Chain A
Amino acid sequence: MVKVNGMELDIAGKTIAEYLATTDFDPKRIAVERNGDIVFKSKYAVTVLKDGDSLEIVSFVGGG
């Protein structure tokens, strides 16, 4: 299982890009943290999620 924003999901084995494609997250508005470190945007397609990984996806909204 992979924890995403606090929820346990059965997505181990997928890449971050594959997981994101199944969600409503807009790739142009997010930053992704995995196990304490930021994931480079260029690595979304090659970073394979492992059992026990913890992801935090920050999705920005407008205003400032």
Chain B
Amino acid sequence: MHNEDKTVNQTAMTQDSAPQRILLVDDEPGLREPLASYLERQGFTVSQAASAAEARAIMRESVPDLVLLDIMMPGEDGLSLCRHLTEARAIPTIFLTAKSEATDRIVGLEIGADDYVVKPFEPRELVARIRSVLRRSARGAVDPTQNEDFLFDAWRLDPLKRRLIDPEGAIVAISSVEFRLLMAFLEHPRQVLDRDRLLDMVQGREAHLFDRAVDNQVSRLRRKIEVDSRNPQVIQTVWGGGYMLAADVRRVPSGPA
């Protein structure tokens, strides 16, 4: 077992005394079964469903903490089931999709999925996403934040579409790590966040790599949002080891992109 697995286990256990239950809905047994056993090794309790109807039947028995949902399934498709899940039950949902076109992803997010993973995905990345969604849902912040943008220093971040828009209205590309880092800052404005804290909040794929590179990630983020990245004003370095977002953050309903 790898080091990371242990950390994941701990996190999963510490947030909730019982292992968290995941419902995996995919019509392809070739993917469903190995993925279920992988997730079980990561400390989750996994139930499997081969169709939307089966998933509904399982959910009548017990409500899972999170649903992993394939979009393209025979019969009722994932989008339809997802609409039902988020509207009626408020169960966090992550899409598994074979389509990589941006429009498909956005459609999934807009109908209420919390995240999406494009097949073939890296299993560790999936686990990181699952934990991130579960954390947010545990804080009870899933739904209210979904449709709100963060405004800081004339910049706007749409957390749903993971879209950062500069003061001129242009989209600024950010990686998923940068997105999570920025989210950490935006959720704790004007607070000093040390490297460990940031690492804890941003933990995503390849944590071992990120581990060594918090500073690197911060400098990348700065290159994109600071007027002069050598003399940063928005994300300031605090002497003694840490960073702080030196801007007021407002939450506004999601506007047009």
Do A and B share a complex?
no
Interface residues of B, Cβ cutoff 8 Å to A: none
